Amino acid sequence: MKIFQRFCLCLSLVLLAGCQSAPPTHLASVFIEAPESASLSMRKKVTLPVSGITVTVLPKELSLAEDLLNTEVVETGEPDLRVTSLLVQLNRQAARTIMDVTRQARGKHLILVVNETAVGLMPVEEQIVDGNLFFNVEVKGKSNRAAAEELSRQLNASILIIRKAKESQ
């Protein structure tokens, strides 16, 4: 059923693009770092573009582009060690999935992938219960803040296009 829903969403996005606006240009997914016990067929390596950090993730995403509600640039961390992060807010269904997965994933990382490129990393320090994910993001040639601001703008534009397509179904 989920494949059929994705097909319908893609079809409506194409139809919407032909009628009113361009299709979304930045599609984001969230993946979880694979446990050591995962077989080779259940692993996929992703590398962040600036730091070169390589993380082995499970090949099935935890959330898709249509699960995103909003993104914002925020400051996180201790008062003396504030960093700029990209807040990604998920819908209720995706938040529940993240909550279930992170219950057992302390010490692992969530990975933000945009258009098949890993761009963000979030350590899982405790179970995430609210669907708010805070990623440290990287884009070549941009500071952390500039990268977060650019990604937020691009993802929010795509979120709006996807939302309009869903409403027109």
Q: Given its phi and psi angles, is residue 52 left (phi above 0), alpha (psi -120 to 50 degrees) or beta?
A: left
pLDDT at position 19: 47
Helix or strand or coil: residue 135?
Answer: strand
The pair of three-digit structure tokens given for residue 55, joined into one six-digit string = 């993380």
Sheet of 83-90: strand order equals 28-32, 109-114, 117-123, 132-137, 83-90, 68-76
* Contact indicator for 165, 16 with CB cutoff of 8 Å: yes
pLDDT at position 125: 95
Task: Divide the 169 residues of the chain into consecutive groups of 10 and give the mean pLDDT of each group.
Answer: 45 48 86 88 91 94 95 91 95 97 94 96 96 96 95 96 88
